[in-house]
Chain A
């Protein structure tokens, strides 16, 4: 469990940028979406999510805008910037390389 938490810590930016890159979202929606898509594996402490979002916005990877949702209330939607898209692509490549390497090693271990 601790291992999973450490993994999540290192992948927070990647996960958030990926989701926002697919569709602009607001904080609560992001939490729900991450939980749903990971089948409950990733559980963010909600405060941590907002700190991460504000940090990403401050370094220019995402930007935010208050928008009205269908029930008339306003929510702060996050959008990916051009720089954010570039960083996301780099992170995706990194992750693919890393997971492929992990798979190669663990599969070899199983065979042996």
Chain B
């Protein structure tokens, strides 16, 4: 393909942030259009390079086209919004009806999350799937958090046992962190906003875990430590489900970002209220703002990932050009 076209299509791709299936359809269709147009221009006397220039000019700015495509595909249906909210609602049910006591329910919920995540990962990764992926990652994240908490409190010997302690610290934590990093980078490469959407429940869960640890001691009491937090947690997950549904239904990117930021602030407000925290409200607000920044931090990561990706592409292109010259 001509470098000009390759560059044009790459810019459309990076601005449209579509799921892999839709992206390949769009790119293939635009490519066939360029083939027709360049063929026709060449017949009227254009050189291939000039024809590519003219064809891309007629198409309009690639960034604008990418943004328009994003808006066409970004709004999910009501069913998709419901699908995005379901994992949050499952957790709301788990706490609202104290179902965390029921091992069968917990196992069924965990297997459902696993099955839906794997299925959607392999079938086009639609937007709603990212809220399931977030819950798929939470056990990894929570175990790391609890191991570090236990180590920090000097309880690891007692809680984990001597052999287990070293396996958790030297094997589990690094492997889990690598897996988390790999998945986050993969998601960010498509769209940083989906990574933020995936991480939506993280701030609320971290604040709950810290609050419960402070008041009853999760490391000592295990899941029994949640006894006092049922209602608050149910409300938190209901609100998260609502926010996820609204996020999927919105079309404009700025509004989606606004929903994530405002929902996180409101939800953390619920958490602070129910966790009966002794913290000063101003500190609670500052911590909440820090969590919102954390939630939107994949944006910074995307700049690095995309920059690195384009460096690789430029390098590949230079190699191809050199090879073409040699032949």
Chain A residues close to B by CB (< 8 Å)? 26-28, 45-48, 50-51, 54-55, 58, 73-76
Task: Tell me if B101 counts as interface (CB < 8 A to partner A).
Answer: no
B9 to chain A, nearest CB (A): 12
B24-48 contacts to A (CB < 8 Å)? 25-26, 28-30, 32-33, 35-37
Q: Does chain A have a CB within 8 A of B154? A: no
B64 touches A55 (CB 8 A): no
Whether B69 and A28, one on each chain, are in contact in the complex, defined by CB atoms closer than 8 angstroms, is no
Tell me the minimal C-beta distance from B91 to chain A in angstroms.
31
Cβ A47 vs Cβ B73 within 8 A: no
Is B68 positioned at the interface, with any CB of A under 8 Å from its CB? yes
Whether A58 pairs with B72 at a CB distance below 8 angstroms is: yes
Known: A73-B32, A75-B32. A54 touches B72 (CB 8 A): yes
**Is there contact, CB below 8 Å, between B68 and A51?**
yes
Let me know if B72 and A27 touch, CB within 8 A.
no
Q: How far is the CA of A55 from the CA of B71 in the complex (A)?
A: 9
Does B326 belong to the interface (CB within 8 Å)? Answer: no
| B166 neighbours in A (Cβ, 8 Å) | none
CB of A48 within 8 A of CB of B60, answer: yes
Q: How distant is B293 from chain A, measured CB to nearest CB, in Å?
A: 33
Interface string of B195-217 (1 = CB under 8 A from A): 00000000000000000000000
Q: Which residues of B contact A26 (CB under 8 A)?
A: 32
By a CB distance below 8 angstroms, the chain B residues around A46 are 33, 37, 58-60
Asked if B5 CB lies within 8 Å of chain A CBs, one says no
